[in-house]
Amino acid sequence: PNLCHAQSIAIVILCTQVLAFIIALIQTTHGLLDWQTLGFTSLILHAIGLSSCVLLCAARPINARFSIIAQAFLALLIVMLVTALISYASIRFVETHIVDNANFIIQNTIVAGLISGLALRYFYLGYLAKQQQKAELQARIEALQSRIRPHFLFNSMNSIASLIATKPELAEDAVLDLSELFRSTLNTQRRYVALQEEISLCKKYLNIEGLRLGDRLRVSWKIADNTLQVMIPPLTLQPIVENAIYHGIQPLADGGTIDFEAYIKNEHVYLLVSNPVGESEKNTHGNHIALSNIADRLSAMYKKTAVLKTSQHNNIFTTTLRLPIQSSH
């Protein structure tokens, strides 16, 4: 456990005082709490607890170089040594009337070792559980993300295929753009990318679709400068853009404009993508497949702190994302 934080130290102090109270109750002989015993026990236990916290915090950078088991043994050794030294000091300077000094030191050291061992076992099991949850979460995110990539590829290739017969030079340029796109998107190790990078990906994809749709596809950008370095999951905006084209721009004879907006408010970044929809698209559920996938990924990565919602007003379909701000640092 990280004992360099005030919250951790406060928990140690609380647990130590509870333990001191229990020990004082056990040693009560006449049914009344011996305040002198409680004071002496509290003094020793708090000295042990706080000294151990200081030493474990100071040793944390060095301890982190070893395996988890080695870290546990080193922590246990530190607590037992501190207990032995403080027990000896308490006999020498505070409670000098203790008869069996050696037995007092040995008992305290053994009890400290047992309690610390149980605590370390508890933290170790918690560590294993967190590692398992982290691995399961990463596998789930990669599985959800892998659903997007083939869909992205197939639609991009279809757009390029439609250009080969009529505009082979443009089709060749589109293939180069697509290869550049996948060079950046096939890196599955990154859980987050800067919004600026995600926007660049969307622009490349829009360039490919623009070769097919021509003047029917228009784009408007309203991106606040302070949002560009905010970190978001990769391939978050691209599926929304893809939906906007296939369920908004493509079915309309005159096409339309996709509006992008990004701004920061109350420690969250808001991303909005709006597109017109035709009469035949008003009741379609095609949008919901990709949006549901994005929502699942956001839920896995942000729990309940991220929001994805859609709305439709005056034939304008809007997808809104609200994500907690994560800087590139």
Query: For residue 194, what is the DSSP state?
Result: E
pLDDT tops 90 at residue 259? yes
Residue 121: other Cβ atoms inside 10 A = 11
pLDDT band with cut points at 50, 70 and 90 for residue 319: very high
pLDDT attached to residue 138: 65
Q: How many CA atoms lie within 13 A of 10 on its CB side?
A: 3
pLDDT attached to residue 329: 45
The whole-angstrom separation of Cα 164 and Cα 149 is 23
| Percent of the chain's residues with pLDDT above 70 | 85
pLDDT, tens digit (0-9, with 9 covering 90-100), for 76-110 = 999 999 999 988 888 877 765 665 788 888 988 99
Task: Copy the structure tokens of residue 217.
Answer: 């596809």
pLDDT attached to residue 228: 92
The whole-angstrom separation of Cα 239 and Cα 244 is 9
Of 262, 151, 250, the C-alpha closest to 210 is 250
pLDDT, tens digit (0-9, with 9 covering 90-100), for 58-82 = 888 888 888 888 888 999 999 999 9
pLDDT, tens digit (0-9, with 9 covering 90-100), for 112-144 = 899 889 988 888 888 888 877 777 766 666 665
pLDDT, tens digit (0-9, with 9 covering 90-100), for 26-66 = 877 666 677 887 888 888 889 998 999 899 888 888 888 88
pLDDT tops 50 at residue 283? no
Task: Copy the structure tokens of residue 118.
Answer: 């149980």
What is the arithmetic mean of pLDDT over 279-288? 54
By the 10 Å C-beta count (0-12 exposed, 13-18 middle, 19+ buried), 286 is classed as: exposed
pLDDT tops 50 at residue 313? yes
Please indicate, yes or no, whether the overall pTM of this predicted structure exceeds 0.75: no
pLDDT band with cut points at 50, 70 and 90 for residue 308: very high
The whole-angstrom separation of Cα 44 and Cα 37 is 11
Distance between terminal CA atoms of the chain? 25
More reliable by pLDDT, 72 or 326: 72
pLDDT attached to residue 279: 62
**Rounded mean pLDDT of the chain?**
82
Spell out the long-range contacts of 300-303 with Cβ–Cβ below 8 A and sequence spacing 24 or more. Answer: 300/137, 300/140, 300/141, 300/144, 301/137, 301/141, 301/191, 301/233
The whole-angstrom separation of Cα 257 and Cα 108 is 75
What is the arithmetic mean of pLDDT over 262-269? 93
b/e burial code for range 46-64 (CB count within 10 A of at least 16 → b): bbbbbbbbebbeeeeeeee
Domains delineated in the chain: 6-98 (no CATH), 133-324 (3.30.565.10)
> Which residue intervals of 165-244 are DSSP H helices?
168-185, 195-213, 238-244
The answer to whether the beta carbons of residues 181 and 170 sit under 8 Å apart is: no
More reliable by pLDDT, 183 or 174: 174
pLDDT attached to residue 309: 92
Of 224, 300, 203, 312, the C-alpha closest to 268 is 224
Which residues, including other chains, have CB under 8 Å from residue 202's CB and lie 6 or more apart?
Answer: 237, 238, 241, 260
| Percent of the chain's residues with pLDDT above 90 | 22
**Locus of tokens 């800067």:** 194
